[in-house]
A and B are shown apart, each in its own frame.
Chain A
Amino acid sequence: MRSSGGRLKLRLWQAAVLLAVFCAWHALTVPGVLPPFYFEDPNKAAFFFGEPLKVLGRIWDWFSGGDIYRHLWVTLQETLLAFATGTVLGIAIGIWLALAPTASAILDPYIKALNAMPRVILAPIFMVWFGLGMLSKVALGVTLVFFIVFFNVFQGVREVSPTVLANARMLGASRRQLLRHVYLPSAMSWVFASLHNSVGLAFVGAVVGEYLGSSEGVGYLILQAEGVFDINTVFAGILVLTAFALALDALVALAERRLMVWQPRSGETERI
């Protein structure tokens, strides 16, 4: 474990990088700070790339004015639903196919095909099937999350140590108990690895869905702003989404630390 002083220093450096990026962004876009070197018109840089102060101001307005909460809530709901459904389906079907060699052999080419297909293309079809409401966005998110979790669980179950498995059988575990006490915990470390990836994709599903057709959600806000060339609002939406994706990822990491206490961590010694 890193000492707390070192940790603080690390955080300070990370904050400094963020600040530096914002400063550079600010310096390059605010009209009149730098002599124009690419665009002749000093306002053009701001038009194309936004201005960080205005972006932050917009975010402030959203949260203080309360406009954003409704949209954010919709997007979060879609994301969480897609994330949960995709994960549960991925774990269930992953375990089933890993333990049913015949079924997995038959379905193998189709699963590969579905995974290779650019699934964002499905969004308009889901709109037709499920309407412009929340369901079509959730469906899109599920297709994105499902495959990542599915392939990881499939692999995780396949890689259960044969000795551990044989031992559990000798200790009298039934098929059900093997599933509960051997396959599932063994696959969990793979599941968590995949969850970090799929959190981001659940957001992608929700936002892309909203972007293509909706009446609420952060994706809808971004689409509206883009329609009137309000780049600052577009960037504000992106920043808010990023922050929430990070927060969700942190929650996954927290759950992982809680549930995976049995995993060896490198350098697990304590300084006295």
Chain B
Amino acid sequence: MTPALELERVTCTFVAGEDRAQRHTAVRDTSITVAPGEFVAVVGPTGCGKSTLLNIAAGLLEPSAGSVRVFGEPLAGINARAGYLFQAEALMPWRNALQNVIAGLEFRGIGPAAARAQGEDWLRRVGLGGFGDRYPHQLSGGMRKRVSLAQTLILDPEILLMDEPFSALDVQTRQLMENELLELWSADRKSVVFITHDLEEAIALSDRVMVLSAGPASHPIGDYRIDLPRPRDVAEIRLDRRFNEIHADIWHAMKDEVLKGYAQQRR
């Protein structure tokens, strides 16, 4: 089967604008393959170039070397088959929740009445039925994330790229959102690349966890299959014995890298 997303030996080096000798390699020689319907989490210490990888997969960034293939075809420009959930606030503040949700439909030229109906349906599905006319600043952080989720999912992307989407939320809201995400995902099993620095979140959500080394020039150092049964409840599964075994296993491999990353940041 053709993989949904294939990053092959991707290297990404940034050069400073003026001084071309000053370069920073964020990712080196990294290959990631995501099968259709697979939920892959990528974990690694902060500053290891996780977001860079995702931006490459989204087509927002061109790799210095290596290739990206989407369903077997080389990627050129924006990855139109992928949806992207950003870590930072990405909603357009001048559009209300409903207008934000249907923005993608509007860009595709879908009529306002049809777009509205779909948008309202999606707002209900993320639990924001009556909030369509609120502007982003009138919504809480968790609600804004839901709007973002609806905004991305309404376009029915085959691949979902998520960059620490819930990292800014409090623990309770976060677990709620994680469960909602799993529920939405299980309905039509998209391929997901989920970036996080939280190992527990990674294990609880995904089919596979990839561990990246500390930056700069980070590269994968481990690939773990998560054989926990689905459907899962992210709060309960953390108490599962198997969960803790996997966690100990991955953490053992990750610990040195986390310490390395920490030491580099302190320098």
Contact = CB atoms under 8 A, between A and B. Distances in A.
Contacts, number: 75
A65 interface: no
B92 A166 contact: no
A179 to B, nearest CB: 12
Interface residues of A, number: 22
A115 to B, nearest CB: 26
B60 A172 contact: no
B151 interface: yes
Given A171-B155, A172-B155, A181-B103, A163 B90 contact: yes
B107 A172 contact: yes
Counting chain A CB atoms within 10 Å of each CB, the highest count among B55, B93, B135 belongs to B93
B137 A166 contact: no
B94 A172 contact: no
Given A186-B94, A262-B96, A166 B86 contact: yes
Contacts of B194: none
B27 interface: no
B84 interface: yes
B60 A174 contact: no
A170 interface: yes
B209 interface: no
A170 B103 contact: no
SS of A interface (majority):
helix
20 contacts: A161-B88, A163-B89, A166-B84, A167-B148, A168-B92, A169-B78, A170-B79, A170-B82, A170-B83, A171-B151, A171-B155, A172-B78, A172-B108, A181-B103, A261-B135, A262-B94, A262-B136, A264-B135, A264-B137, A264-B138
Contact of A182 (B58, B92, B135): B92
A177 interface: yes
Nearest to B104: A171
Contacts of A166: 55, 58, 60, 84, 86, 90
